[in-house]
Amino acid sequence: MKIENFEKYNWIWHDADLILLKIVWSEDGIQTLLLRTELNPYEDRQLLINLGLNTPKIDLIFHDVGNLMFKGPGDYSLREVIVEWKIKKVGTSKAYKHEIECSGGTELSFICSQGIELKATEDN
């Protein structure tokens, strides 16, 4: 399921567990970023259920990612939890800058212009 206006949905990921972060480079150098998350069971997921995403584990796939910056966790004893997700439009383009902060100190910042693909998953 591809989402163009993710700022309508990003609040659902407040207090979501960050399970996996994966960066893939294609042969032509384009980066794809995958975030595997498990949503907080107390968060209202109705918007996602309406899209057919019924599981609490959701993969977020960002295609054509640029300006990727990652700061690793300060505390490795617990799984990271997303505490803040800011989204800002970049100029007049279709691109959006995403800034994600997690509970253990992880910070992730990147620009994506291709929308976001959401997939329900059962994988860890």
Q: What string of DSSP letters covers 21-32?
A: EEEEE-TTS-EE
Give the global pTM.
Answer: 0.90
Average pLDDT, the chain: 90
Give residue 75's pLDDT: 67
Say which DSSP state 93 is in: S
Instruction: Compute φ and ψ for 7, nearest 5 degrees.
Output: -60, -15
Give residue 124's pLDDT: 64
Digit-coded pLDDT (tens) for 43-89? 999 999 999 999 999 999 999 999 999 998 766 778 899 999 999 99
Q: Which stretches within the chain are classed as H helix?
A: 46-50
pLDDT at 26 over 80: yes
Nearest CA among 81, 13, 71 for reference residue 43: 13
Give residue 53's pLDDT: 93
